[in-house]
Amino acid sequence: MKKQENKGITLIALVITIIILLILAGISIRALTHTGVFQNAKQAEIENKRAQITEYLKLKLINEQTNNPFGSAEEIITATREDTLNKINELKKMGNDVTVEEVSKEEDNKEVDVYFYVIVDGDVYKVELKAVTFLGKKDDMSPIIKTKNITSTTNTITVEVTTSRNDGGQIEYYIKSENDADYRLDATTEDENHVFTGLSQSKKYSLKVVAVAKNGKKAEDVAEKTTETAQYTITFNANGGSVSQGSKTVLYGTSVGSVPTPSRDYWDFQGWYTDATNGQKIDANTTYSFENDITLYAHWTVKNVKLDVYMGSPGEINSGATYTATKTVDFPIKRWEWSYKEYGEVVSYSINGNTITMVIKNATPNKNYISSRIYVYSY
């Protein structure tokens, strides 16, 4: 019994001695536990897996470089991606979840970088002509956003972007005009395309798109776009005169350019206006600022006119009988006087704008006809 107790004490002392020696050697108790040795072993397994995947992708790249020694970077990277995608089951032997992303291009100081990403169980690898690189865990990385396409109309800009590593994240769309100091947020959405509306035509805008990942990290891209310039039609209304050119087209924001000169008997042309009686005067140097087609009206001032007008003869007419004569001219009548009369006498007359109406009587006995002419004046 005494021997067994001594044996137990000796065993405990041995264990304590070993632990003390391990501590002195720099090995912690934690390193001996499940969270130490086993965690290190797991990490070593992960690093070994990453090294295997990196080497696998390098071999794919080298193979395409060997097959096409004179190929461009884009040709080689595209072929490497296609081969990787076609044999994706080989990668799936190394990881459960495998994604091969599209080929991307970045231009920096006239150098074009062509590459694609491979994601295996959340690990991101970048395959480019010069190397294959493990970048890190997808969930720990910033998103990637690039402007893919921008189009515009006279008052809208449509931007299309592509994003990576932004699953479940948001995209913020900002805009500012060339006159603005700061961007304004126009929309926050998951959509990779957005239409900015209500813009001014022929104006340059700066656009900023920001990808906001679920981990809070951000990436942005900026671009510029000028809205389109609309073409409008100007129609010329001679407004009582005549004009040889009926219309012309003009670009918004540019000078109207040459305009026709209309003609009209007894009138002087005063210019083209946006209204038949009032309106804004438009000439060749006017900047076209209307966002629609317009009609321009000729404005006129009457000349000083004295016109000899034949008031006619009624044929046979008895002495004392009357007849009515009406005459319309191309200008407003202010007054009249006889130019020539034979046997006639005015009973009454009226002037209504461009028209004069006269009641004329045969005032001469034994005469059965009347002949008369008058002067009408514009002043």
The long-range contacts involving 70-73, CB below 8 angstroms and separated by at least 24 positions, are 73/112, 73/114, 73/129
Pair of tokens at residue 280: 């804004």
Domains of the chain, by residue range, sit at: 37-140, 144-227, 231-302, 306-377
Amino acid at position 188, single letter: T
On the CB side of 357, CA atoms within 13 Å amount to 4
* CATH architecture of the domain with range 231-302: Sandwich (2.60)
> In which residue are the tokens 């499940």 written?
34
Q: Please check whether residue 192 is in contact with residue 156, taking contact to mean a CB–CB distance below 8 angstroms.
A: no
Pair of tokens at residue 210: 């920001």
Length of the chain: 379
Comparing CA positions, the residue from 229, 228, 264 lying closest to residue 243 is 264
Percentage with pLDDT > 70 across the chain: 89
What does residue 66 show for φ and ψ, rounded to 5 degrees? -70, -40
- Asked, colleague to colleague, whether 144-227 and 231-302 share their fold, the answer is yes
Give the chain's end-to-end CA distance (angstroms, integer): 151
Pair of tokens at residue 296: 């321009």
Please give the Cα distance from 116 to 100 (Å, whole number).
8
* The pLDDT value given to residue 311: 87
How far, in Å, are 26, 108, 292 from residue 157 at the CA level? 64, 26, 20
* The pLDDT value given to residue 106: 79
- 179-202 pLDDT, tens digit per residue, is 999 999 999 999 999 999 999 999
* The pLDDT value given to residue 2: 47
* The pLDDT value given to residue 31: 52
For the chain, residues with pLDDT lower than 70 are: 1-16, 18-38, 108-110
- 267-283 pLDDT, tens digit per residue, is 999 999 999 999 999 99
**3-class DSSP state of 79:** helix
Pair of tokens at residue 195: 């239409």
Work out the number of other CB atoms within 10 angstroms of the CB of residue 209.
Answer: 23
Please give the Cα distance from 283 to 287 (Å, whole number).
9
Q: Please check whether residue 288 is in contact with residue 249, taking contact to mean a CB–CB distance below 8 angstroms.
A: no
* The pLDDT value given to residue 138: 86
> In which residue are the tokens 């897996």 written?
49
Please give the Cα distance from 250 to 351 (Å, whole number).
44
Directed axis angle between helix 73-86 and helix 39-67, to 10°? 120
CATH code, 144-227:
2.60.40.10
Pair of tokens at residue 248: 């012309």
Q: Please check whether residue 288 is in contact with residue 352, taking contact to mean a CB–CB distance below 8 angstroms.
A: no
Which DSSP category does 230 fall into? P
On the CB side of 344, CA atoms within 13 Å amount to 28
The residues, ordered by sequence, that sit 6+ positions from 241 with a Cβ below 8 Å of its Cβ are 262, 263, 264, 267, 269, 298, 300
How far, in Å, are 3, 17, 184 from residue 8 at the CA level? 9, 14, 78
Comparing CA positions, the residue from 91, 95, 92 lying closest to residue 45 is 95
* The pLDDT value given to residue 9: 60
Judged by phi (left if over 0) then psi (alpha if -120 to 50, else beta), residue 74 lies in alpha
